[in-house]
Copies of this chain bind each other. A is one copy, B any other.
Amino acid sequence: MISLIPDYLAATLEACPPDAHARNADYIPELARVDSSLFALAIATVDGMIYSAGDAEAEFTIQSVSKPFVYAMAIEDRGLDEVQRRIGVEPSGEAFNEISLEAGSKRPLNPMINAGAITAHSLVASPDDDESARVRRIVAGLSAFAGRELSIDRTVAESEWHDAHRNLAIGHMLRSYDMLTDDPDVVVHGYVEQCAVRVTTRDLAVMATTLANGGLHPVTGEQVVSSRTARQVLSVMLSCGMYNAAGDWLTAVGIPAKSGVGGGIIGALPGQVGLATFSPPLDEHGHSARGVQVFERLSEDMDMHLMDVPPPARSVVRHSHVVPLGRGSRRVDAHVYDLQGDIRFAGAERVVRLISDEPPTTKTVVFDLVDVHALDETAARMILETVRRLAADGHEVWFAGLDDAPLTHGRLDDEGFDLGRGVHVRMGSDLDDVAEQIMRA
């Protein structure tokens, strides 16, 4: 069978015709000259599968799509506090190249407008590094996000540098408020090179997925940035990524995103996928016109809107019953809580609720986690606290299938899983294994 996904992607491209009013960016000839019929879509999953349609291997300059990644690098290199002192996180309601700063703090409003992006650029690498080290670090960092070595389009960079008056204006303004500490000419020159890094639509999809995957590259396995950094970046993309149409995008598409004047747009759904589109002609907001269409369609067709309520899940508690474990004299009646599915706060709450409402009637209690699909930190802590309370009430608690679950609170010792304060959980790989261990005891 041929995968249906490429077909779907191809059909999506076909359903998004060129916009007669859209035009390539034309402030430099190199952008004006790009083939405006190029059109591509790529989706990369968090386990590294990449689907694409159209001209997904065509290279173009990354432009503003570099901003979230370089913001991430700045946070990694200088810490979030230092970065927050110099770059805000508020939507600006203004065009991307507005020459304005936050009243009072004099910070750029956010890292997605040029003022913030230039500041973020200046915060990458060590304060002692010179321009060329900083640019090398940025190209290396973008390459790490992409999972392949990227390079700068020197022709585009030179052409943009030749016409960088607005960014130089921003740079000098930032310098006048000490938001930049380096020479603004040098910083803007480096920023122009950052924007001229060449990428493909596939690259962008993978880069987006790395953010969506908590900073972990889905193919190379490199932890490019920390998950906390990735969360910060995604949050800012959500509120500020689409500039002055941020609210429209958030209600209509609902995917954290970032567009670039070169024609690229990325989207990142936390824990799910990264998306990228490419089509050079821009709409009146400066976003790729067909790219916006594609995102609207994907969000609609694929329930990718962040505010979509997921479908009702089956109960986390599949069964709650007393089961005889083992045979003969060693047979023990155990209250088995058979759990299933993705368990986050809401699921754990149901487990806790059930146990509070119908406490176990047997000394031995087993949580059967074999069918648990995922268990987040909060749910894990809630279940472990429940175990502690059951232990305090005199119960002996077993986990079946614990080895697969992300329980990092406690440590394994001879008596099982030590929760501290004298509480131990015994473990088996499944219910039969638990029964066998009980029999052996």
Give A contacts to B, CB under 8 Å. Answer: 1-5, 45-47, 49, 51, 88-93, 99, 110, 165-166, 168-173, 175-176, 184, 212-214, 227, 230-232, 234-236, 238-240, 244-248, 250-251, 254, 256, 270-273, 301-314, 316, 340-342, 344-346, 349-350, 352-353, 355-356, 359, 371-378, 382, 385-386, 389-390, 393, 404, 406
Q: What distance in Å separates the Cβ of A183 from its nearest Cβ neighbour in chain B?
A: 10
What are the residues of chain B within 8 A of A340 when measuring CB–CB? 371, 373
Distance, CA A132 to CA B248, complexed state (A): 33
What are the residues of chain B within 8 A of A271 when measuring CB–CB? 309-310, 346
Distance, CA A309 to CA B272, complexed state (A): 9
Contact B170 A184 (CB under 8 A): no
Contact of A99 among B99, B312, B404 (CB under 8 A): B99
Distance, CA A382 to CA B301, complexed state (A): 11
Nearest 6 interchain pairs by C-beta: A341-B373, A169-B172, A214-B309, A90-B247, A165-B176, A169-B173
Given the known inter-chain contacts A246-B239, A341-B342, A386-B4, please indicate yes or no for A406 contacting B311, CB distance below 8 A. Answer: yes
Contact B373 A342 (CB under 8 A): yes
Contact of A342 among B184, B230, B238, B313 (CB under 8 A): B313
Q: What distance in Å separates the Cβ of A272 from its nearest Cβ neighbour in chain B?
A: 5
Contact A172 B168 (CB under 8 A): yes
Distance, CA A341 to CA B311, complexed state (A): 13
Given the known inter-chain contacts A247-B88, A376-B310, A389-B4, please indicate yes or no for A345 contacting B302, CB distance below 8 A. Answer: yes
Given the known inter-chain contacts A99-B173, A247-B240, please indicate yes or no for A374 contacting B313, CB distance below 8 A. Answer: yes
Contact B342 A342 (CB under 8 A): yes
What are the residues of chain B within 8 A of A303 when measuring CB–CB? 344-345, 376-378
Q: What distance in Å separates the Cβ of A66 from its nearest Cβ neighbour in chain B?
A: 20
What are the residues of chain B within 8 A of A169 when measuring CB–CB? 99, 168-173, 175-176
Q: What distance in Å separates the Cβ of A309 from its nearest Cβ neighbour in chain B?
A: 4
Of A1, A90, A340, A389, most buried by chain B (CB within 10 Å of CB) is A1
Given the known inter-chain contacts A89-B248, A313-B342, A314-B404, please indicate yes or no for A1 contacting B46, CB distance below 8 A. Answer: no
Contact B227 A89 (CB under 8 A): no
What are the residues of chain B within 8 A of A273 when measuring CB–CB? 345-346, 349
What are the residues of chain B within 8 A of A382 when measuring CB–CB? 4-5
Distance, CA A408 to CA B263, complexed state (A): 38
Q: What distance in Å separates the Cβ of A290 from its nearest Cβ neighbour in chain B?
A: 22
Distance, CA A269 to CA B1, complexed state (A): 38
Distance, CA A3 to CA B345, complexed state (A): 14
